[in-house]
Amino acid sequence: MARRGQKSGLLRKILIVLAIGAAIGLYFGYEAYHALYGSNVDLKNRKEAFVYIRSDDTFPQVMEQLKNSGYIENFETFEFIATRKKYERSVKPGKYRLIPGMSNNQVINMLRSGDQVPVRVKLNKEDNLAQIAGAIGSQLEADSTRLIALLTNPDTAAFYGFKPETFIAMFVPNTYEFYWATTPRKVLGRFADEYKKVWTPKRLEKAKELDMNPDEVTTLASIVAKETAKNSESRRIAGVYMNRLKTGIPLQADPTLRFAANDPTIQRVLNIHKAVDSPYNTYLHKGLPPGPIGMATAGFLDAVLDYEHHNYLYFCAREDFSGFSNFAVSYEQHQQNARRYQRALTERGIMN
- Per-residue pLDDT tens over the stretch 225-267: 999 988 899 999 999 999 999 999 999 999 999 999 988 888 8
- Per-residue pLDDT tens over the stretch 190-236: 999 999 999 999 999 999 999 999 999 999 999 999 999 888 999 99
- Contact call for residues 325 and 315 (beta carbons, < 8 A): yes
The HSE-up count of residue 163 (CA atoms within 13 Å, CB side) is 9
Q: What is the mean pLDDT of residues 125-132?
A: 91
pLDDT above 70 coverage of the chain, percent: 89
* pTM greater than 0.85: no
Q: What is the mean pLDDT of residues 163-171?
A: 97
Question: What DSSP letter does each residue of 68-83 carry, written as one string?
Answer: HHT-BS-HHHHHHHHH
Question: What DSSP letter does each residue of 303-334 carry, written as one string?
Answer: HHHTPPP----EEEE-TT-SS-EEEESSHHHH
Q: Which pLDDT score, from 0 to 100, does residue 271 have?
A: 84
CA distances from 202 to 174, 205, 211 (A): 20, 5, 14
Output the average pLDDT for the chain: 89
- Contact call for residues 173 and 297 (beta carbons, < 8 A): yes
Q: Which pLDDT score, from 0 to 100, does residue 22 have?
A: 46
CA 225 from chain center: how many Å?
Answer: 19
